């Protein structure tokens, strides 16, 4: 076993968190709150050094870059939420960031998530050359095209699902479910990975069973 | 029938115990499993393999929290070893406050092992607040956006950054993340500045990004611990590192526990179907009460 | 012996170093042109890599610029090797320039420069490469506004959503059993569209519970969502003509801590044993903890969320799940708010256009064996 007190501390806190598997208890609560508190404290310190220091203290007070007063003022308006009488002022920075965010984001999101994805869904003449290629072949291309069209038809709400729409939406929901199955499988791996990593830490760094 | 009934109402703590054993035993009694390498991992590896040494840089952004570090740390380590072994300059950064310290830990350790110097062979720039604004700023003027490195040294005085103006001088941008932030990189760095983007993702978010891989908006992708293990294997096969790392060892445990999970799912379903059939016979509406 | 080896080694080293000190080969022809689609302050340079670029001795390329007709070249930048293009973003609109690119090695030796022809930066008013995004954005905004307007004038048809029947059935079941209904609004803030959709559905459920006199339990985790949820339930009871039945304690604040909230909700499920659990909103890792606790009690469970990563958990642990957009459509269907209904219908027609374009484009490209159609969707 290690004599490093920090490893001991980390190991004890890990075990405290895992006691939740038996049932909710004070050890779990203590470790959880400790982590939440540490994370908040650390984030505040990081923000101080990376945002307040360079932009407010250095930028405004030392370099006299007065334009920075505008974002600072807008940012401070968020704090009005603590004063119910003028709490509505908080809406100003929210509106500005939402408006600017949508303006900057909408065309680019459309390009990245719709225009380019539409291009990726098209069947191309190149696919005819290797119809059975598992990545860019015609068969896979057709499958992707059918998946996209049928799934979209499932999420079409302006018409009742009858006739051809009923068939395509039924196929669409199958595609969605297969997608969820893949996602579920990946999630199982993710959760096990996190557990395994903690076990590796406990058995390697703490009790030295694994060399 | 009694057995199936018991199986259906198995205490979840028994399941935890079985899974814990299936994880711990393969970790203690290690064996060597060879993984097939997924095409998305291979594409990322090949892309870095094609970057000329000493030229354009690889930028790695550590956009994750400790909760998912188990999956993403090994990826960062494997990619860093590859870049360092090939003499490619590397720049590290983070859009997450806590990600900055996670990245720094890995950079310092791997750089020390590979004998690389900060400022010359690699730069660690740390946390920059502002997501979209940072991503767009780097596309305009990298040194101006970073201002200083993680340790407070002015960016202008770092020799490695002397020739790196913006994404034009970055051969690859690798985002390590467990959230939607990857989309922000694709949308802003990829669409706006035509940067080459790749992602190292937690297994939970990996399936969400396959469409981007198919359209080439991501040049490569590492998915979860498996992706990291594949990259470690490629590093060993090409002689960039003498031995596999933590992810490969974890894959043994993952493989065994996956088999156990599959058996549990099958048994659970048999119990469920049996209970439903019994329920129907008894004229009950619901299978499990 | 030792004294003799020093000079010999030095001579050997020099001899080995000599070829490396040779002047690097110059880069190939330099092409300079006005950067397209910009504000007239940039010129793009392209060149063929120097033959020395493949070795490790080359450091990079030095770019210099002079006004046309002048010989005083000013250095602009030094790029790492492997680079074959450069944007000069400090050009003056309309001024004529010539550029030189020379290869430089690690020893500082500079090759003969390769020169470009005369070039001027020009301003463009319109970024031609982004027309596809512009058309898409305008079309989408137009459709949304059109359908919002139509919805305001009463055209609000949205197809029947089967999950909503299940909600009604579940309320009836709770009434029959004399047990409460649990309504969880997810773990997000009021700015999340999913939370708003969850609140819309809550209003509808609360009307039903008021009609049937079924107890409703709404644990919350965000103080703004809490206030709005209280108001929504109160109004629903008033709207059903039973304001007397509204119990202030039915909407209560649990905690803002994620797993603490999940544990709290699980506690409510275990103690009160609601007949129906509804999970409607934005969910994260806490989703399975709560829905699994509910499944263990045998309650009817219905979930609605757009959290793609949590949907598989809800599908496995709930009796019915409103998947992603279905959830929004359900909320629009119930609230009949013209903004929501118009948004859903606008998106519907955008989807129709997308499907039509993809199908027609695929057939066209396979028939003509050309890539022209695909290039319409290129990102520039």
Residues C235 and C310 in one domain: yes
Q: Is the distance from CB of B45 to CB of B234 less than 8 angstroms?
A: yes
What integer is the mean pLDDT of B134-151?
A: 93
**Interface contact A119-C378, CB threshold 8 A:** yes
**Interface contact C379-B191, CB threshold 8 A:** yes
Residue C42 maps to which CATH number? 2.60.40.10
Of C56, C80, C379, the CB nearest to B56: C80
Greater pLDDT, C368 or C54: C368
Residues of A in contact with C161 (CB under 8 A): 157
Closest residue of C to A94, CA-based?
A: C191
Closest residue of C to B190, CA-based?
A: C379
pLDDT tens digits, residue range C59-70? 888 999 999 988
Of A125, A157, A176, the CB nearest to C159: A157
Per-residue pLDDT at C309? 84
Quick check: is C5 in a domain? no
- Candidates A81, A124, A157: best to mutate against C (most CBs of C within 10 A) is A157
pLDDT tens digits, residue range B250-289? 998 999 999 999 999 899 889 888 888 887 665 443 433 3
**Interface contact C312-A106, CB threshold 8 A:** no
Tokens of B79: 């990619």
Per-residue pLDDT at A135? 80
Highest mean pLDDT (candidates A29-38, B98-107, C186-195):
B98-107
Give the DSSP H or E segment for C338: helix C338-368
- Given a cut of 80, whether residue C239 has pLDDT beyond it is yes
Quick check: is A121 in a domain? no
Residues C106 and C161 in one domain: no
Residue A149 pLDDT class (50, 70, 90 cuts): very high
Query: What's the gap in Å between the CA of B53 and the closest CA on chain A?
Result: 30
In B, residues 100-119, which contact A (CB 8 Å cutoff)?
100-101
Chains that touch C (3 or more CB pairs under 8 A): A, B
Per-residue pLDDT at A184? 87
Quick check: is A53 in a domain? no
- Given a cut of 80, whether residue C22 has pLDDT beyond it is no
Quick check: is C307 in a domain? yes
Domain count, chain A: 1
Give the separation between CA B196 and CA B212, rounded to whole angstroms: 12
Residue C304 has a CB neighbour count (10 Å cut-off) of: 31
Quick check: is A159 in a domain? yes
Boundaries of domain holding A184: 126-211
Quick check: is A87 in a domain? no
Residue C9 pLDDT class (50, 70, 90 cuts): low
- Given a cut of 60, whether residue C245 has pLDDT beyond it is yes
pLDDT tens digits, residue range C268-280? 998 899 999 999 9
**Interface contact A155-C352, CB threshold 8 A:** no
Per-residue pLDDT at C7? 52
pLDDT tens digits, residue range B176-235? 998 889 999 999 999 889 999 999 999 988 988 999 998 999 999 999 999 999 999 999
**Interface contact B191-C56, CB threshold 8 A:** no
Domain count, chain C: 2
- Given a cut of 90, whether residue C101 has pLDDT beyond it is yes
Per-residue pLDDT at B134? 95
Per-residue pLDDT at C265? 93
Quick check: is A109 in a domain? no
**Interface contact B253-A108, CB threshold 8 A:** no
Boundaries of domain holding C289: 157-335
Quick check: is A200 in a domain? yes
Greater pLDDT, B57 or C77: B57
Residues of A in contact with C366 (CB under 8 A): 123, 125, 128
Quick check: is C129 in a domain? no
Per-residue pLDDT at C19? 47
Residues of A in contact with C349 (CB under 8 A): 158
Per-residue pLDDT at B1? 60
Per-residue pLDDT at C38? 84
Per-residue pLDDT at C14? 45
Greater pLDDT, C335 or B42: B42
Quick check: is C378 in a domain? no
Q: What is the ipTM of this complex?
A: 0.85
- Given a cut of 70, whether residue A7 has pLDDT beyond it is yes
pLDDT tens digits, residue range C26-36? 998 899 999 88
**Interface contact B23-A192, CB threshold 8 A:** yes
Residues of A in contact with B216 (CB under 8 A): 120
Residues C113 and C163 in one domain: no
Quick check: is A210 in a domain? yes
Greater pLDDT, C184 or B52: C184
Residue C18 pLDDT class (50, 70, 90 cuts): very low
- Candidates C138, C141, C147, C159: best to mutate against A (most CBs of A within 10 A) is C159
- Given a cut of 80, whether residue A206 has pLDDT beyond it is yes
Residue C277 maps to which CATH number? 3.40.50
Closest residue of C to B56, CA-based?
A: C80
Of A24, A106, A123, the CB nearest to C137: A106
Per-residue pLDDT at C88? 87
Of B52, B164, B205, the CB nearest to C82: B52
Closest residue of C to A154, CA-based?
A: C326
Give the separation between CA C324 and CA C308, rounded to whole angstroms: 7
- Given a cut of 60, whether residue C4 has pLDDT beyond it is no
Residues of C in contact with B289 (CB under 8 A): 298
DSSP codes of every residue in chain B? -HHHHHHHT--HHHHHHHHHHHHHHHHHS---PPPPPPHHHHHHHHHHHTSPTTSSEEEEEEE--GGGHHHHHHHHHHHHHHHHHTT--EEEEESSHHHHHHHHHHHHHHHHHHT--BTTTEEEEEE-S-THHHHHHHHH-HHHHH-B-TTS-BGGG-GGGGG--SGGGEEEEEEEESSTHHHHIIIIIIIIH---EEEEE-TTTGGGGHHHHHTTSSS-EEEHHHHHHHHHHHHHHTTSSSS--HHHHHHHHHHHHHHHHHHHHHHHHHHHHHHHHHHHHTT-S-S--
pLDDT tens digits, residue range A72-98? 999 999 888 788 899 889 889 888 988
Residue A109 has a CB neighbour count (10 Å cut-off) of: 20
**Interface contact C81-B55, CB threshold 8 A:** yes
Per-residue pLDDT at B204? 87
Residues C116 and C162 in one domain: no
Greater pLDDT, B268 or C183: C183
What integer is the mean pLDDT of B45-69?
A: 91
Q: Does B30 touch chain A (CB under 8 A)?
A: yes
Residues of C in contact with B53 (CB under 8 A): 56
The overall average pLDDT reported for chain A is 90
Quick check: is A52 in a domain? no
Per-residue pLDDT at B78? 97
């Amino acid at each position: 076993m290690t004599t490093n007190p920090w490893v001991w501390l980390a190991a004890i806190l890990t075990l405290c968190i895992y006691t939740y598997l038996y049932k909710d208890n004070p050890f779990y609560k203590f470790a959880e709150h400790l982590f939440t508190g540490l994370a908040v404290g650390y984030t505040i310190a990081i923000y101080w050094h990376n945002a307040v220091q360079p932009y407010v203290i250095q930028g405004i007070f030392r370099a006299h870059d007065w334009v920075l007063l505008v974002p600072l003022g807008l940012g401070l308006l968020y704090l009005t939420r603590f004063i119910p009488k003028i709490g509505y002022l908080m809406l100003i920075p929210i509106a500005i960031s939402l408006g600017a965010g949508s303006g900057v984001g909408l065309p680019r999101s459309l390009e990245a998530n719709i225009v380019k994805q539409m291009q990726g869904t098209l069947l191309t003449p190149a696919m005819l050359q290797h119809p059975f290629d598992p990545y860019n072949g015609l068969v896979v291309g057709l499958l992707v095209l059918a998946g996209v069209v049928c799934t979209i038809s499932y999420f079409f709400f302006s018409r009742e699902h009858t006739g051809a729409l009923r068939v395509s939406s039924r196929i669409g929901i199958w595609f969605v479910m297969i997608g969820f199955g893949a996602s579920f499988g990946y999630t199982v791996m993710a959760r096990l990975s996190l557990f395994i990593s903690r076990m590796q830490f406990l058995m390697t760094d703490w009790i030295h069973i694994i060399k | 029938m009694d057995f199936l009934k018991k199986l259906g109402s198995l205490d979840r703590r028994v399941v935890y115990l079985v899974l814990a054993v299936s994880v711990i035993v393969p970790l203690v009694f290690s064996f060597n499993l060879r993984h097939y390498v997924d095409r998305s991992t291979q594409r990322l590896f090949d892309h870095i393999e094609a970057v000329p040494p000493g030229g354009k840089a690889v930028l790695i952004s550590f956009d994750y929290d400790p909760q998912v570090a188990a999956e993403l740390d090994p990826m960062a380590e494997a990619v860093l070893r590859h870049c360092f072994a090939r003499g490619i300059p590397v720049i590290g950064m983070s859009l997450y406050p806590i990600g900055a310290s996670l990245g720094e830990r890995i950079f310092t350790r791997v750089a020390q092992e590979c004998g690389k110097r900060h400022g010359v062979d690699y730069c660690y720039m740390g946390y920059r607040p502002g997501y979209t604004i940072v991503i767009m700023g780097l596309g305009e003027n990298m040194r101006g956006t970073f201002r200083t490195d993680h340790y407070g040294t002015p960016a202008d005085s770092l020799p490695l950054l002397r020739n790196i103006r913006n994404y034009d001088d970055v051969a690859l941008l690798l985002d390590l993340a467990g959230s939607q932030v990857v989309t922000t990189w694709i949308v802003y760095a990829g669409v706006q500045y035509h940067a080459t983007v790749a992602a190292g993702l937690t297994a939970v978010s990996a399936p969400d990004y396959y469409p981007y891989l198919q359209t080439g908006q991501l040049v490569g992708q590492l998915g979860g611990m498996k992706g990291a293990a594949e990259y470690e294997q490629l590093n060993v096969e090409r002689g960039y590192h003498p031995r596999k790392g933590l992810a490969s060892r974890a894959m043994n445990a993952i493989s065994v526990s996956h088999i156990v999970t599959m058996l549990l799912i099958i048994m659970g379903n048999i119990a469920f179907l049996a209970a439903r059939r019994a329920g129907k016979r008894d004229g009950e509406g619901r299978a499990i009460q | 012996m030792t004294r003799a080896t020093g000079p010999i080694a030095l001579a050997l080293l020099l001899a080995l170093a000599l070829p490396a000190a040779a002047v690097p080969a110059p880069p190939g022809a330099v092409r300079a042109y006005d950067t397209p689609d910009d504000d007239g302050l940039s010129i793009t340079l392209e060149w063929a890599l120097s033959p020395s670029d493949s070795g490790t001795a080359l450091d990079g390329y030095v770019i210099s610029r002079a006004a046309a007709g002048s010989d005083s070249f000013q250095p602009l930048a030094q790029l790492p090797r492997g680079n074959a293009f450069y944007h000069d973003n400090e050009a003056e609109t309309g001024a004529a320039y010539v550029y030189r690119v020379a290869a430089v090695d690690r020893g500082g030796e500079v090759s003969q420069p390769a020169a470009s022809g005369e070039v001027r930066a020009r301003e463009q008013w319109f970024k031609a490469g982004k027309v596809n995004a512009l058309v898409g954005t305008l079309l989408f905004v137009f459709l949304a506004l059109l359908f919002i307007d139509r919805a305001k004038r009463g055209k609000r048809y949205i197809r029947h959503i089967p999950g909503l029947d299940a909600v009604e059935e579940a309320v009836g079941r709770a009434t029959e059993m004399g047990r409460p209904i649990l309504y969880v609004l997810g773990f997000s803030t009021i700015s999340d569209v999913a939370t708003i959709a969850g609140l819309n559905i809550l209003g509808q459920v609360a009307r039903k519970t008021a009609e049937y006199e079924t107890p409703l339990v709404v644990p919350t985790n965000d103080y703004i969502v809490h206030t709005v949820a209280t108001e929504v339930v109160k109004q629903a009871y008033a709207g059903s003509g039973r304001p007397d039945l509204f119990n202030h304690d039915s909407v209560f604040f649990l905690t803002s801590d994620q797993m603490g909230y999940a544990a709290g909700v699980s506690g409510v499920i275990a103690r009160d044993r609601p007949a129906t659990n509804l999970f409607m909103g934005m969910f994260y890792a806490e989703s399975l903890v709560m829905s699994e606790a509910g499944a263990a009690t045998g309650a009817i469970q219905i979930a609605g969320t757009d959290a793609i990563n949590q949907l598989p958990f809800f599908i496995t642990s709930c009796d019915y799940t409103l998947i992603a957009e279905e959830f929004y459509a359900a909320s629009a269907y119930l609230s009949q708010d013209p903004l929501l209904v118009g948004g859903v219908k606008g998106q519907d027609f955008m989807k129709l256009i997308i499907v039509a374009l993809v199908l027609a484009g695929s057939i066209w490209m396979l028939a003509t064996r050309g890539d022209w159609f695909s290039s319409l969707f290129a990102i520039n």
